[in-house]
Amino acid sequence: MKWRARAAGIFTLLLCLAGRALAADGARLYAERCSGCHGDDGKGDGPAAAAVEPKPRNFRSPDFWHDRTDAALRAVVLSGKPGTMMPPFAGVLSDTDIDAVVGFLRRFDPASGGAQQPPVAEAHP
């Protein structure tokens, strides 16, 4: 019976480490791929924002987060946003990378209190 408790403890530790790695990847990917337009703090005020029309999304706005799902965030990261400078990342980022970015974006939701949220597990096409 002790081996089951140890196995459960090891499994829990591995899940925790995987979650931390995903969080770190989300922060890194956002800094590399998103902050140039959306800004380090997600306010839509990155260095390139002045030259972009329409302006990049302000992820700090409560209006942005009203009824916003992880699936909707994922779809925009994957396919881009027509009529804007938001490029598609399909074929550039893996499904795991996109999930990490979505989890990182959730930290900008005023309702989250600034905590990164793990993205809801969804089936990927």
pLDDT at 114: 67
pLDDT at 102: 94
pLDDT at 117: 59
- Residues of the chain falling short of pLDDT 70: 1-23, 114-125
Q: Taking the domains of the chain in order of start, what are their residue ranges?
A: 2-31+59-112
Cα 41 to Cα 107: distance, rounded to the nearest angstrom = 10
pTM: 0.75
pLDDT at 124: 56
Which class in CATH covers the domain with range 2-31+59-112? Answer: mainly alpha
- 105 contacts 115 by C-beta, under 8 angstroms: no
pLDDT at 49: 95
Cα 47 to Cα 63: distance, rounded to the nearest angstrom = 23
Cα 7 to Cα 12: distance, rounded to the nearest angstrom = 9
